[in-house]
Structure 1
Amino acid sequence: MAARFKMSRKGVGQLLRSEMVEAEMLRRAEVIRSTAVAISPTGGAGDPHPGQYRSSWTVDSKARGGRRRDRATATVRNNTYYARWVEYGTEKVRAHHVLLRAAQAGGR
């Protein structure tokens, strides 16, 4: 005879906010961050901020994150003012999609 399973919503919520899940989210975010650093462009000879984009990757985690603040989350971001332009490009500069490529390659 098969055993029956009864899910506890409270228990699932506690699991999603647990230190164990937060640690795993942080580990995956660090993998993505290190990949992003490795593939970040550094700029050419005329770049006024060579290497600033590459050195500006950060990671943070929260036990109560997400839209409803009901789960552990970790966030990878680049704090340079021009990070959006590097990621998505402009009419003069092609898009590099650094964070997209890092997330696709890492996080496992």
Structure 2
Amino acid sequence: MKVSAIDVDNTAMILKLLGDKTRLSMVKILDTHDCCVCEFVEIFKASQPAISQHVRKLRDVGLVRETRRGQWIIYSLNKESEYYPILKSLFEHLPSQDEKLQELEEKGLRISCN
């Protein structure tokens, strides 16, 4: 199956969205681990409303999916998005973000909303 090209306007929009360090780190984390907002709040030391805005922007363009687990919403990377090939290329050049999740686990805060 051939991947169709994304036009320049949409590519620029995605790159602008990913130009934010927090959002870029979020999608890198979500490439290998599903997370909830509470985990991102702890990882990025940011307020819940600020993290929710970042996630909303990623979700609105289809880069991130949400799944409800009870009263909690868990976010994952949408690997079926037309923009995923751009992300996949970027990921090859970014360091792993696993240490951020390991720190959460060590503090007992990994998926603290379960």
TM-score, length-scaled by structure 2: 0.26
Larger of the two Rg values belongs to structure: 1
More helix by share: 2
TM-score (norm 1): 0.27
